[in-house]
Amino acid sequence: MIPITTSVFELFKIGPGPSSSHTIAPMRAGYHFNRAVAEAELPAIPDRIEIRLYGSLSATGKGHGTDRAVVAGLLGYLPDTVDCSFLDSLADGSPHLFECGSVKLHAGINDVIFAEVNNSFPYSNTLTISLKKNKETVFEQEYYSIGGGFIKLKGQPEEIPRVPVHKYSNMAELRQILIEKQLRMHEVILENETAITGMSKDEIRIRLDAILDTMKQAVKNGLATSGVLPGPIGLNRKAKALYARSSCDNEADRFFVRLNAYGFAASEENAAGHIVVTAPTSGSSGVIPAIVYALEEDLGISREMTRRGLMACAALGFIAKHNASIAGAEVGCQGEIGVASAMAAGLITYAHGFRFWRTENAAESALEHHLGLTCDPVGGYVQIPCIERNAMGAVRAYNAYLIASVENEKFHKVTFDEAVRAMAETGRDMNSKYKETSLGGLAVSVPNC
C-alpha cells in the first residue's frame, strides 16, 4: 500500500481559470523556471526564451490561456496572487522584462510554440522552457502537467515521504480506519493534514475557510455579472438571468433553478479567467462551490458542518486522484466533472450529519453516472459544454445525496473504489480525441465556433 499524502490545500488551490492543468500548472512551471534560473550557473548569457507546449496544452492551449499563464509564471507571478488584468494584458503579445540574476531578456506569448499533440513524453501534457544563445540551449527544464494544477519536473528527486497519521490508499482502507478507530472522516483528514503540512488545527480551519469563502465569492461574482465571455464563441453568461428567474411558485423548482445558477456562476467566472478554486480542477470549479453556496445560503447549514463536509469530500478526491486521475487529458471529463460531482455529493451528505457509508454511497452514485464522460471543449475554450456541465454535476450530486439519505445500506451494491477503478479503465480505453484535445465530440460537431 502506498498511502495518500496529498494535502487538502494541494487539491483545493486558489487561482485564475479557465483550467488547472492548462493555466495553474503552467504558471507554476513558469515560476519554478524563474527560480531555477536565479540559482543556476549558466555557461553563457542567453539571448531569448523558448517555451514549447505538447499534448492538449498545445491542442487547446490558446483557448485555455496557457501561453499567457506560463509567461506570467516566468515573470514571477503565482496563481493565488496574480492579477487577472495583468494576465489579460499579455494577450497582445507585448514582451515583458524577464530578469533573473545575470539574465535580462524579454518574454511574451510570441515565445510560445504550440508543438506536437501526439508525443512520447511520460505525460502527454508536457511543456519545456529553454534559454537559448544563438539557437543553442543554455538551460532547459521539462515539466509535466498531471491534472488539478499539479506539476512534475523531469529528474526531480523524490521528496521525503510525508507520513500521515492514518495511512490509507483507497476507500476500503479508509473505511477500516473509521470503524477500528471509531473516528469520523473529517477527524481523519484533519489529523492527517496536521502531520502532512505541520500546521495547527486552527491554522487549517482558517485556510479551509479561505477556500470556502473564495468558492462563494466566485459564485457571487458570477451571479452579479452579465455579458459575453472571452473568445470567438460569443457565449453569453446565463447565471445572473437564471438567478433572477428563480422566484418560481414551486419551492423545489426554485431551489434547483438557484443551484443551477450557482453552478453556472462559478464556472462562468472560471471561463472568464477570474479567480476560482480547483475543485478538484478549474474546469470543474463550479460544482462544489455551487453546493457550498446552496448549503450555507439556502439550506442554513453551519460553517462548521460545511467545513467538515469539505474535509470529507477531499478524501474522496484524494482516492480518485491516487487510483485513477482527475485530469481531462488522461481520463476525459469523468475525471473532472465526474469526480467533482462525487465529491460534492459526499460533501452534502456529510454536512447534513450522515455517517461515512451514506457519504460513500452518495459519492459512488454521482461518479457512476458520469462514467465515460468525454472532454471535448468547443474551440478549445472551457465554455461549451463545460459551464452547463458544472451545473448538471451539481444537480446530480444533490440527487445522489437524496437517494443515499434514504436507501438501505444492505441494498447498495457498488463501492466507491469499484467506481474509481471503472473510471480508470474507461479512461485508458478512451480515444485520445475525447481527452481535452478538441478533436472529437461536440468540439467538431458544433458549427461556427
pLDDT for position 344: 98
Task: Write the secondary structure of the chain as one string of H (helix), E (strand) and C (coil).
Answer: CCCCCCCHHHHCCEEECCCHHHHHHHHHHHHHHHHHHHHCCCCCCCCEEEEEECCHHHHCHHHHCHHHHHHHHHCCCCCCCCCHHHHHHHHHCCCEEEEECCEEEEECHHHEEECCCCCCCCCCCEEEEEEEECCEEEEEEEEEECCCCCEEECCCCCCCCCCCCCCCCCHHHHHHHHHHHCCCHHHHHHHHHHHHHCCCHHHHHHHHHHHHHHHHHHHHHHHCCCCECCCCCCCECCHHHHHHCCCCCCHHHHHHHHHHHHHHHHHHHHHCCCEEECCCCCCCCCHHHHHHHHHHHHCCCCHHHHHHHHHHHHHHHHHHHHHCCCCHHHHCHHHCHHHHHHHHHHHHHHHCCCCHHHHHHHHHHHHHCCCCCCECCHHHCCCCCHHHHHHHHHHHHHHHHHHHHHCCHHHCCCCHHHHHHHHHHHHHHCCHHHECCCCCCHHHHCCCC
Segments forming the whole domain that contains residue 86? 17-153
Which whole number is the average pLDDT over 165-184?
97
Which whole number is the average pLDDT over 264-289?
95
Which whole number is the average pLDDT over 166-182?
97
Question: In sequence order, what are the residues at sequence separation of 6 or more whose Cβ sits closer than 8 angstroms to the Cβ of residue 135?
Answer: none
pLDDT for position 449: 61
21-60: pLDDT as tens digits: 899 999 999 999 999 999 999 999 999 999 999 998 998 8
pLDDT for position 101: 80
423-442: pLDDT as tens digits: 999 999 999 999 988 899 99
Q: Is the pLDDT of residue 444 over 70?
A: yes
How far is C-alpha 421 from the geometric centre of its chain's CA atoms? Answer: 20
Residue 438 placed within a domain: yes
Residue 162 placed within a domain: no
- 140 with 276, same domain: the answer is no
CA quadruple 123, 119, 54, 338: dihedral, nearest 10: -50
Residue 228 placed within a domain: yes
109-154: pLDDT as tens digits: 999 999 999 999 999 899 999 999 998 999 999 999 987 788 999 9
- Domain termination residue (choose one: 153, 187, 222): 153
- 134 with 264, same domain: the answer is no
The percent of residues in the chain predicted with pLDDT above 70, rounded, is 99
Task: Write the single-letter amino acid at 330.
Answer: E
- 365 with 251, same domain: the answer is yes
C-alpha cell of residue 139: 538551460
pLDDT for position 96: 94
- 276 with 344, same domain: the answer is yes
- 98 with 180, same domain: the answer is no
Residue 7 placed within a domain: no
pLDDT for position 148: 73
Q: Is the pLDDT of residue 158 over 90?
A: no
Peptide bond into 385 cis (omega under 30): yes
- 114 with 240, same domain: the answer is no
- 195 with 145, same domain: the answer is no
pLDDT for position 62: 86
pTM: 0.87
- 180 with 146, same domain: the answer is no
- 207 with 87, same domain: the answer is no
Which whole number is the average pLDDT over 234-261?
91
- 89 with 197, same domain: the answer is no
C-alpha cell of residue 439: 478533436
C-alpha cell of residue 367: 461518479
pLDDT for position 161: 65
pLDDT range class, residue 169, cuts 50, 70, 90: very high
Give just the sign of the alpha carbon dihedral 313, 314, 316, 321. Answer: positive
Contacts 24+ apart (CB under 8 A), 133-139: 133/44, 133/45, 133/46, 133/47, 134/47, 136/44, 138/42, 138/43, 138/44, 138/45, 138/46, 139/36, 139/37, 139/40, 139/42, 139/46
pLDDT for position 66: 94
- 110 with 176, same domain: the answer is no
The whole-angstrom separation of Cα 233 and Cα 381 is: 8
- Specify the higher pLDDT residue, 439 or 360: 360
Task: Please return the burial class of 46, using the count of CB atoms within 10 Å of its CB with bins 0-12, 13-18 and 19+.
Answer: buried
Q: Which residue has the cell 460534492?
A: 344
pLDDT range class, residue 448, cuts 50, 70, 90: low
What's the total number of domains in the chain?
2
Which whole number is the average pLDDT over 98-119?
92
pLDDT for position 20: 83
- Domain termination residue (choose one: 153, 187, 217): 153
- 405 with 345, same domain: the answer is yes
Which CATH number is 128's domain given? 3.30.1330.90
| Cβ pair 261, 246 in contact under 8 A | yes
C-alpha cell of residue 36: 531555477
Residue 221 placed within a domain: yes
pLDDT for position 288: 98
> 159-163, 195-199, 426-430: which range is least confident on average?
159-163
pLDDT for position 248: 73
C-alpha cell of residue 432: 485520445
Which whole number is the average pLDDT over 208-216?
98
Q: Is the pLDDT of residue 364 over 90?
A: yes
Q: What is the mean pLDDT of the chain?
A: 94
Which whole number is the average pLDDT over 205-232?
97
C-alpha cell of residue 427: 479512461
Which whole number is the average pLDDT over 162-190?
96
